[in-house]
Structure 1
Amino acid sequence: MVTNSTMTISSLILTTRSILRTLMQTHTPYLTEAWLQFRSDTYDGDWFISDEYGQNLELDINQSIRDRVLDIHRRYPRLATFNFFAMTDIATGLLRNQINSGATFIWDNCRTIGFETKASSTLPLDAPKVVAQLVPALKAKRTRITKTSGVSNSSPVAIAKVAKSVEPTKMGRTSKRRYRYRPEFRHLLQHAWAKAVLFDTTFIILNCGRYERIGIRHRASQTLYLSGLVDPVNTQDPRYRKLHVALNLAIVRDVLERHDLATMVGTKRTAEEADVEESLPTAKRRKTAMPTDEPNHSEITKEIGPRMIALVNLQYGPFCSPTPASFIRIGPSCAPVFQPELIQMQKLKRKYLAHEYFTLVLDEPGGEGSTGIVHPATLEARINLPSGEDQQKRLRHEFGVYSHLAQKQVKGVVTVHGLFCDSDSGVLGLLMDNGGQNLRQREMERTGEELPAQVTLSEAECAAFTAIFKSIHEARVRHQDVRADNLLVNPATGEAFVIDFDRAHVAGALYPNYDIEMQCLQNIFDKKYEPMNYHHY
């Protein structure tokens, strides 16, 4: 019983069910993902203990403890990773399989040959006390993780191995498999490991209803330790309920220890970096801060326009692509330099030399549009990656509209460098220039409002957007989604652009009425925005 204000967070471990909850998310008919997190309020994010538990234990939670728990909740939104599989013969057999101690794990990566990336993110911290106590007790089965599939857990380096030629994955590889896919235990482990790295969790629990395995992720050695087979029905010492009470205690202890280490390391590192910065000569500091000269944009456009292959890497947060994905060009460049005639598409080859492909390193997503997720890339370009079949269909339609506008040489439309398809997964990518910041994002930064209903424009910006839409309409295109989110202004140059033509309509023989669309635009200028009247009209 804790009654004084000096209680530490460790005391809350006694009531794990009152401060923790398990959330589930249906992933597929075969797999359901779940995770453990602090109980928190939906509106303000504050965590809480139910009144029943709080009164019985007479908990006195001071502000420092509350702040600490909120910081843990922010750093570690998921405390443990659970994968629940359908109770089928396949799932039961997979969990019962024995894994040889010390076996090298074979990862499934993108199948591009000749280009290998070694760059990665900073290695996160382990909780040495918790791991040292638990791994021997579990009589661990040892599985060595030698590579990562899109999620990094290794030391930071910056080395790229490039052969004389690159061989992309053949188109249609995924759609022309001769046999139906059957789940493999290594695929389940790879998926679970990737999710654990993404949310920086230590414990990975695999359960098929009949059997269970508990995994401990050791970051420093990139090793996954798996327990022996747990039988919830017949386990006696300890019983299954007692085992999971201990598991919850271990999860909380692990998070507490890692949070303390991360807080100390983060403070120390910040101080050291500040000392180094202050010790640098003024001239050197200025030289370091100066941006490098940017290459000519038109030259880049000319170079990448004819190239059929885009090698795409992820490099942000825990994401790191050891092998790039091969995106094959399936739509020509819409850049003005290649208009009015579109550049001719080339036939696909088995191998490509360095001057026949280009690379993109995707940064953290900058937003999510109606047709997919938008990633800024190192070529000052954005790539839009749709996830569903409907989004891919709409992206193909959008590319067709961009092609039409490019042939009509419409000004104020972001340059599109082509439509690409990942030969491994079939995901589409629309590569386009970064037009800048949309008006709603700009208004959020200016006013501090989370979702501003109206936006502010200068007279010059109003005139620019009016001219763009008149040009779009002269090309016989109705945008049909006129709102502040689709109007961009480049903060560096002041140029205005219009994006998101996935709902646009190219007129046929009839000449449509564009008055409604122009009125929608005028209402944005006059701060009379009404969401119901601004799209799908």
Structure 2
Amino acid sequence: MSDLEESRSSYSSRLSSYDDSDSAISVAWSSHSVLVPHKRPRPPVPPPASPGDIYDDLNTVFEWNPENLMIAAKRKDNSPGRGNRDLSFYGMHLAPALTLKRVVHVPQLHKQLARVVDIRMDSLRERGITLPPAGYRRGIYVREDTRGHLIESDRREMRNEIDVAQYLYRSIPRFSLPIASALTFHPEIWLSVLRWSDHPQEGCHAIVNGTFGVEPLRDGLTRRGPDGEPKATVWDYIDEENFKHLREIDRRYRTLATWQILKVSIGVDDVMPRLMTMVYNGAFQWKRCRGDPCMKPLNQNQFRSGHDSADTLMFATDSLTDATPSGATTPLPPSVRPPSPPVAKSHSQILDEAFVRGGSSLEKFQSLDEIHQEFIAEQEEASRKRREARANGTGGWKPPGYSYSAWPDSATQRFPGESEAGSLDLAPDTLLMEAWIQSIRDNSTLVILHSGNLEFICVRHRESQTLYVSDILHLPCMEDPKYGKTALGVYLLAIDDAIRRNQLDSAVDDAPEPPAGVDDIDESDAQTDASDESAKKKSRTTPPPTNRRGRSGRKRGKRKAVAKEKTELTENVIPIMLCPLVLKADSFLKEMMEEIASSARSVLLMHFKYDLYDTVNPGIFFRGIRLNSAVDTSSPPPTTPVTRFSKDDRILLVLTSELGEGAVGVVHGGVVRVESSHRKTTELKIAAKLAFTPRQQKALIHEMEVYKRLSSKGVEGVPKILGEWHDADEGGPSCVIMSHAGLSLRDRGGKITPEQRDGFMAILKSIHAAGVSHEDLRSANLMIDDAGNPVIIDFERSWIDGDEVQYKKEPVLLRRILDAKTMKRAPHAGTPADTGVTVGKGKKAESARPVGGKRKSEDRDDVPSAQADDSKTPGTSKATAEKRVGNAEPSGSNVVHGPRPGAGDGDGASLRERRAGGMTLRPLKRK
């Protein structure tokens, strides 16, 4: 028997045995619930349908193709929910162990996925498993007529990638997930333990991320009926073994498959057709920056992505032959070896052959493309006529005296840069890079690239860093198999892959620890790591989430090289300390800041050293901010690319964290390393802001103009700009380096002191005096630096020479924000009358009356102040204030003063008064 036949037979037998365990519930169901075995009886089961009837109805799902989606005429760049970063730029700094090394074309991949459905259905028929009738539960699974009506009612013109993602869910996962869940875990009911969701990508490209995974288990534990008794859920139909699998899968792999959803593609020269040519020719190559390596890599991986399921890869790629992929650490099975170099063909030939293998043709695709073009031309012509009608005043009713010409284009632009493009053009290699990075974060094996009418299905192999890519599928015209069966095969294969991977990763977790005397593990950390075993088990196969504050995995043991490198990055770090009005008068610090801003150092080499990133080739940046869509007026880089620079000509920027993101781009924390050939290397703690799109870069240029205005007016309490840079590569980001402002009031927690509150108000007053209105005052933009000084940041929305209305509104807004963040100033020990404080000229203030109506002036000297910083009351002498601080009890003291003779003779009122710090208390009312 050949290797191909053996792999198919082994996979078929494995699926059959897997189905036997899954459907054992239909043969011998426990009389009690798995979750609450002694409180809930067995849930009701619908009467079974006739096998022929339900299988015929399932075939209508399998033999279904979506209709051709039309593109709505829209204004330029209106896709909502776009992020603030270019993920392909970050991908150039990805750790070498995580990059995509090879792309392999698998022409028959979609047919292999359909075989997964056939094997599962044949197994159910052979064992006589009866399925519930269609439409048992409304909205979960319905017959063909109702399903078609729901899909058609949701269909409309696709304006952007958000519309494509919504239509994809309403036409495929909404009906396929209950089928996949029932065929795998609970064949007695059409419910689902699976979920599909989508969210806009964090990058600057028009992409929506889709995810497929297991529903949270808490949903099955908390539902109760109207009478308060626990209500049966889908989890009660799952046996103990599968319940254990689902619980562990939900903990390890929150995403089983990843979707990258784009706008509807038009034309043979769009990104999806061009990707087909690149995959066929094997022309993909991971992009790297052009700088020569100048720092040692960290040699660490923040997480382990886990094992690959050999069965999944063999079944998906069993049509491939020949050599082993280069770079694989171990030889792959013969059935997954890539084919020989392809025969040279034109772009049209490659597309036509791929479409024919999927049941369509290039002619059909072009005919639908012509319909698209005609429809868009009609919509654009109608839109042009409407604009002309509005301009001529004939575009419908308008208020008397209203004129469209009275509103210039600049008036509709609320913030700087709003008229510029907010997205970046997407290329085929960029799409593959971003899809690969997202699959790393999701820790998924299957990756689907979807654009409405076109789709690629990809299988990721972690060990060899290879991506196996299918033909381009023209969904409206698919034949043998049609799209309904192919999509269901994706869900079934992803579930099976997660179960097999969970078994492999569980075996590794249960394996004994390696001896502590291994050479590359620091023995001093062995005991510490042993205490964190439970945390490591959870993080070993879970990638760090996208959120910068999320939990990230950690590798076993600390590497000595890693600890050494981290020490090198932080041992000479000098944070910038801002005093309330001027920079700290330190000659060495000033000299270093001047060195960073010096024009002699004309090159900045950018490194990323956090999360997934470990730069090998640094990015090369030159001085000046550039607007990518405009002509570059700064000094051009040399015509011959220079990749190596001397220590005296360069500055090293090492970004080690993400501080936030906004309208201008992404803000990173890190250090600037200043090297020299004749003195010791020094580092400075900074914040760096990266702007990627023309809209962000225009807003960044505007923000720099505001900072220059504030600097020329001598305004302090705002970040100090240390340099402006742009990427040497065409279309790269712009970068601004500024002083590190500390933590925001939103993130630092706790209260600020009254002095810090007054400092914020003074800074805002000086900003207004310089003729600038901030326009974005909120707690996230109010910072406290390392020295405890207030700083106001983020001036991208600010206006120079603003109106007086904003100058009046902003102090009120800032005061409202600070009042909620400022600690209360406790009353001082003595009243003005007791301490001799004069109010006005020659007048003494009246003292407050204590509880009981008697004055207790003799008790006030030993009462501690509630805040040490406010020990000196305005108007008191220095000696009195020092004496009061010296007599104060330390913070958190548990000492309770007893009654003193002559201080009310120990009555309860004066004792309560002293315990309350001298505050006047109301007498307790008795009933």
Alignment correspondent of 2:648: 355
Larger Rg: 2
Alignment correspondent of 2:817: 524
Q: TM-score, normalised by structure 2?
A: 0.42
Alignment correspondent of 2:715: 410
Cα gap change, 1:98 to 1:397, in 2 (>3 Å): closer
The question of whether the paired residues in 2 share the 8 Å contact of 1:79 and 1:255 is answered with no
Cα gap change, 1:382 to 1:202, in 2 (>3 Å): same
Question: Is 1:495–2:789 an aligned residue pair?
Answer: yes
Alignment correspondent of 1:81: 259
Cα gap change, 1:497 to 1:216, in 2 (>3 Å): same
Deviation at 1:438, TM superposition (A): 0.5
Alignment correspondent of 1:304: 596
Distance 2:454 2:491 in 1: 18
Deviation at 1:433, TM superposition (A): 1.8
Question: Is 1:374–2:667 an aligned residue pair?
Answer: yes
Alignment of 1:196-211 (within 5 A): 196-206=439-449
The question of whether the paired residues in 1 share the 8 Å contact of 2:448 and 2:457 is answered with yes
Cα gap change, 1:136 to 1:376, in 2 (>3 Å): same
Deviation at 1:488, TM superposition (A): 0.7
**Which of 277, 286, 292 is residue 525 of structure 2 equivalent to?**
277
* Paired amino acid for 1:88: G
Deviation at 1:24, TM superposition (A): 5.0
* Paired amino acid for 2:286: W
Cα gap change, 1:463 to 1:322, in 2 (>3 Å): same
* 1:170-190 CA distance string (max 9 Å, x none): xxxxxxxxxxx9987555434
Deviation at 1:505, TM superposition (A): 3.0
Deviation at 1:374, TM superposition (A): 1.3
Structure 2 unaligned spans of 5+: 1-22, 36-179, 224-231, 329-423, 529-559, 575-587, 627-632, 673-684, 823-927
Alignment correspondent of 1:217: 460
* Paired amino acid for 1:327: F
* Paired amino acid for 1:385: L
Alignment correspondent of 1:472: 767
Alignment correspondent of 1:18: 192
Cα gap change, 1:215 to 1:77, in 2 (>3 Å): closer
The question of whether the paired residues in 2 share the 8 Å contact of 1:308 and 1:348 is answered with no
SS in 2 for 1:394: helix
Alignment of 1:408-447 (within 5 A): 408-422=713-727, 423-443=729-749, 446=750
Identity rate of aligned residues, in percent? 24
* Paired amino acid for 1:294: V
The question of whether the paired residues in 2 share the 8 Å contact of 1:310 and 1:328 is answered with yes
Cα gap change, 1:518 to 1:81, in 2 (>3 Å): closer
The question of whether the paired residues in 2 share the 8 Å contact of 1:439 and 1:487 is answered with yes
Comparing 399-408 with 315-324, greater Cα deviation is found at 315-324
Alignment correspondent of 1:532: none
Alignment correspondent of 1:171: none
Question: Is 1:316–2:610 an aligned residue pair?
Answer: yes
Cα gap change, 1:201 to 1:520, in 2 (>3 Å): same
Comparing 190-199 with 370-379, greater Cα deviation is found at 190-199
- Structure 1 or 2: larger helix share? 2
Deviation at 1:356, TM superposition (A): 2.1
Residues paired across the two proteins, number: 456
Cα gap change, 1:247 to 1:118, in 2 (>3 Å): farther
SS in 1 for 2:493: helix
Structure 1 unaligned spans of 5+: 148-180, 333-344, 447-455, 530-537
Comparing 60-69 with 197-206, greater Cα deviation is found at 60-69
Cα gap change, 1:356 to 1:315, in 2 (>3 Å): same
Deviation at 1:10, TM superposition (A): 9.7
* 1:30-80 CA distance string (max 9 Å, x none): 975553323658xxx96679x9x95698346899667535424xx544623
Alignment correspondent of 2:490: 247
Deviation at 1:471, TM superposition (A): 3.1
* Paired amino acid for 2:213: F
Alignment correspondent of 1:399: 704
Alignment correspondent of 1:461: 756
SS in 1 for 2:305: coil
SS in 2 for 1:395: helix
Deviation at 1:191, TM superposition (A): 4.1
Alignment correspondent of 2:337: none
Cα gap change, 1:519 to 1:279, in 2 (>3 Å): closer
* Paired amino acid for 1:437: L
Comparing 292-301 with 518-527, greater Cα deviation is found at 292-301
**Which of 291, 303, 307 is residue 126 of structure 1 equivalent to?**
307
Alignment correspondent of 1:176: none
Alignment correspondent of 2:571: 292
Comparing 202-211 with 392-401, greater Cα deviation is found at 202-211
**Which of 21, 33, 36 is residue 211 of structure 2 equivalent to?**
36
SS in 1 for 2:723: strand
The question of whether the paired residues in 2 share the 8 Å contact of 1:81 and 1:204 is answered with yes
* Paired amino acid for 1:126: H
* Paired amino acid for 1:252: I
* Paired amino acid for 1:214: I
SS in 2 for 1:363: strand
SS in 1 for 2:617: coil
Alignment of 1:141-156 (within 5 A): none
SS in 2 for 1:18: coil
Alignment correspondent of 1:177: none
Cα gap change, 1:206 to 1:10, in 2 (>3 Å): closer
Deviation at 1:466, TM superposition (A): 2.9
Distance 1:397 1:270 in 2: 56
The question of whether the paired residues in 2 share the 8 Å contact of 1:130 and 1:253 is answered with no
Cα gap change, 1:216 to 1:143, in 2 (>3 Å): farther
The question of whether the paired residues in 2 share the 8 Å contact of 1:105 and 1:144 is answered with no
* 1:153-204 CA distance string (max 9 Å, x none): xxxxxxxxxxxxxxxxxxxxxxxxxxxx998755543443343334332222
Deviation at 1:260, TM superposition (A): 5.3
Distance 2:432 2:787 in 1: 48
Deviation at 1:265, TM superposition (A): 5.3
* 1:222-258 CA distance string (max 9 Å, x none): 222234666765543x665444333222212323444
* Paired amino acid for 2:571: T
Distance 1:398 1:261 in 2: 52
* Paired amino acid for 1:429: C
The question of whether the paired residues in 2 share the 8 Å contact of 1:143 and 1:224 is answered with no
* 1:281-331 CA distance string (max 9 Å, x none): xxxx9x999973435644442222123332223333223444333333216
- Structure 1 or 2: larger strand share? 1
Distance 2:804 2:450 in 1: 61
Deviation at 1:115, TM superposition (A): 4.3
Cα gap change, 1:505 to 1:71, in 2 (>3 Å): same
Deviation at 1:487, TM superposition (A): 1.2
Cα gap change, 1:82 to 1:139, in 2 (>3 Å): farther
SS in 2 for 1:411: coil
The question of whether the paired residues in 1 share the 8 Å contact of 2:743 and 2:783 is answered with yes
Cα gap change, 1:252 to 1:363, in 2 (>3 Å): farther
Distance 1:410 1:262 in 2: 58
Cα gap change, 1:242 to 1:477, in 2 (>3 Å): closer
Deviation at 1:441, TM superposition (A): 0.9
Alignment of 1:184-199 (within 5 A): 186-199=429-442
Distance 1:210 1:466 in 2: 57
